[in-house]
Amino acid sequence: MLSIEVMESGEVALLHCRGRLVAGLATERFREVALSYSERVLLIDASELEQIDAAGVGVWLEVHQKAERSGGAVIIADPRPWVKECLSLTRVDGVLNLVTFTRSPGSTRGLAHLGHAAA
């Protein structure tokens, strides 16, 4: 199961993802939500993804390509080490923008504290 919490702040839309981004309903739901923000900077908080498969990586690439054509951008934030390894092995890490944010001790996991909840 995939949970997506959306927050907006100016030209940035934050998608905080929890759970499994795998083939089926999860990738369809992610595609639907993410593509609605393709003209903005889309920050995908991957810090709480438990699983991603080829379909999940594929939908990230699809959203990235659509955003580039629309003048937006996609950033994958705080992917877990195994996600980075998967993206590296498939050479997708050279296409997608990956970033890691430094957190101070005691800060909340993920980037949910950066934005405001979408209406």
In a domain, 84, yes or no: yes
- C-alpha radius of gyration, the chain, whole number: 13
Domain span including residue 61: 2-101
Strands across the sheet with 12-21, in order?
97-99, 73-77, 41-52, 12-21, 2-9, 116-117
The number of folded domains in the chain is: 1
Distance CA 56, CA 70 (A): 21
Q: What is the pLDDT of residue 116?
A: 38
In a domain, 109, yes or no: no
In a domain, 116, yes or no: no
In a domain, 38, yes or no: yes
Which distant-in-sequence residues (6+ apart) come within 8 Å of 88 by Cβ?
Answer: none
Q: What is the pTM of this model?
A: 0.83
pLDDT 10s digits, 23-53: 999 999 999 999 998 778 999 999 999 999 9
In a domain, 111, yes or no: no
In a domain, 24, yes or no: yes
Residue 49 sits in a domain whose CATH number is 3.30.750.24
pLDDT 10s digits, 68-90: 999 889 999 999 999 998 899 88
